[in-house]
Amino acid sequence: MPNIEQQKHRVRSAARERLENLRFRSTAKTLYKRLEDAVAAGDSTRADEEHHALVRWLDRASARGAIHPNKAARKKSQAARLVAKR
C-alpha cells in the first residue's frame, strides 16, 4: 500500500481511469454486436446508423487513449467490410 499522499492519489486516479477505459472498450463491443445484428437482419438504414455510431465511438476511444489507434483503425476496417458485404 502506498504511504505517500501522491502515490495514494495516483492509485485512486488510476482506478478511475481504468473504469473509464473499460467503459470505452465494452461499449465498442456492444456497438459492434449491434452492427452485426443489423447487417444480419438486412436493415440497411439501421446498419448505416450503427456503423456511424461505432466509428464515432472508436475515434473517441482512440483519442482518449482508451484503445490503441491501430486497434481502432482495425475495428473500423472490419466494420466497413461487414457493412459492404450486405
What confidence score (pLDDT) does residue 1 get? 82
One digit per residue, the tens of pLDDT, for the chain of length 86 reads 888 999 999 999 999 999 999 999 999 999 999 999 999 999 999 999 999 999 999 999 999 999 999 999 999 999 999 999 87
Q: Output the domain CATH number for residue 30.
A: 1.20.58.110
Domain of 32 in residue numbering reads as 5-85
- Which cell is 82 given? 461487414
**Sign of the torsion formed by the C-alpha atoms of 15, 17, 23 and 24:** negative
Number of domains in the chain: 1
Q: How many CB atoms lie within 10 A of CB 13?
A: 10
Specify the pTM.
Answer: 0.87
